[in-house]
Chain A
Amino acid sequence: MTAEASSLKAGPHRTLSRDLLAPVLKEAGIAALVAFGLAVFMIGFRTVDAQGGLQLETRWSWVGIAVGAVFVGRLALALRRHWRRADQGPGILSALSTRLGAG
Chain B
Amino acid sequence: MPYFVQQLINGVTLGSIYGLIAIGYTMVYGIIGMINFAHGDIFMIGAFIALITFLLLGLGDITWLPLALILVLLASMTLTSVYGWTVERLAYRPLRGSFRLAPLISAIGMSIFLQNYVQTFQSARVRPLQPVIQGGITLIESETFTVNLSYLQIMIVVVTIVLMGTFTLLISRTALGRAQRACEQDRTMAELLGINVDRTISLTFVSGAALASVAGIMFVLYYGVIDFYIGFLAGIKAFTAAVLGGIGSLPGAMLGGLLIGLIETFWSAYFTIEYKDVAAFTILVLVLIFRPNGLLGRPEIEKV
User: Would you call the interface of chain B mostly helix, strand, loop, or mixed?
Assistant: helix
Among A58-99, those with CB < 8 Å from B are none
- Asked whether, in the complex, the Cβ of B121 is within 8 Å of the Cβ of A43, the reply is yes
A55 to B56, CA, bound (A): 9
- Asked whether, in the complex, the Cβ of A56 is within 8 Å of the Cβ of B125, the reply is no
Among B4-57, those with CB < 8 Å from A are 45, 48-49, 51-53, 55-56
| B103-111, B127-135, B159-167, B203-211 - interface stretch | B127-135
- Asked whether, in the complex, the Cβ of B55 is within 8 Å of the Cβ of A47, the reply is yes
Q: How many residues of A contact B (CB 8 A)?
A: 16
The contact of B122 among A37, A40, A47, A53, by CB within 8 Å, is A47
- Asked whether, in the complex, the Cβ of A42 is within 8 Å of the Cβ of B48, the reply is yes
**A26 lies within 8 A of chain B by Cβ:** no
A71 to B25, CA, bound (A): 32
- Asked whether, in the complex, the Cβ of B82 is within 8 Å of the Cβ of A56, the reply is no
Return the CB mask of B115-155 against A: 1 if under 8 Å, else 0: 00110011101011110000000000000000000000000
The contact of B125 among A42, A49, A55, by CB within 8 Å, is A49
A41 to B81, CA, bound (A): 13
Chain A contacts to B: CB under 8 angstroms: 34, 37-38, 40-43, 45-49, 53-56
- Residues of B contacting A46 in the complex (Cβ-Cβ under 8 angstroms): 121-123
Given A34-B82, A54-B127, A54-B128: A42 and B122 within 8 A (CB)? yes
Given A47-B127, A53-B130, A54-B129: A41 and B82 within 8 A (CB)? no
- Asked whether, in the complex, the Cβ of B123 is within 8 Å of the Cβ of A47, the reply is yes
- Asked whether, in the complex, the Cβ of B130 is within 8 Å of the Cβ of A41, the reply is no
Instruction: Determine the residue in chain A with the shortest Cβ distance to B129.
Output: A54
Instruction: Determine the residue in chain B with the shortest Cβ distance to A45.
Output: B52
**B75 lies within 8 A of chain A by Cβ:** yes
**B79 lies within 8 A of chain A by Cβ:** yes
- Asked whether, in the complex, the Cβ of A38 is within 8 Å of the Cβ of B83, the reply is yes
Given A47-B55, A54-B55: A37 and B82 within 8 A (CB)? yes
A41 to B52, CA, bound (A): 7
A53 to B45, CA, bound (A): 20
- Residues of B contacting A42 in the complex (Cβ-Cβ under 8 angstroms): 45, 48-49, 52, 117-118, 121-122
29 A-B residue pairs with CB within 8 Å: A34-B85, A37-B79, A37-B82, A40-B79, A41-B53, A41-B75, A41-B79, A42-B52, A42-B117, A42-B118, A42-B121, A42-B122, A43-B121, A45-B52, A45-B56, A47-B52, A47-B122, A47-B123, A47-B127, A48-B123, A49-B125, A53-B128, A53-B130, A54-B55, A54-B129, A56-B52, A56-B55, A56-B56, A56-B59
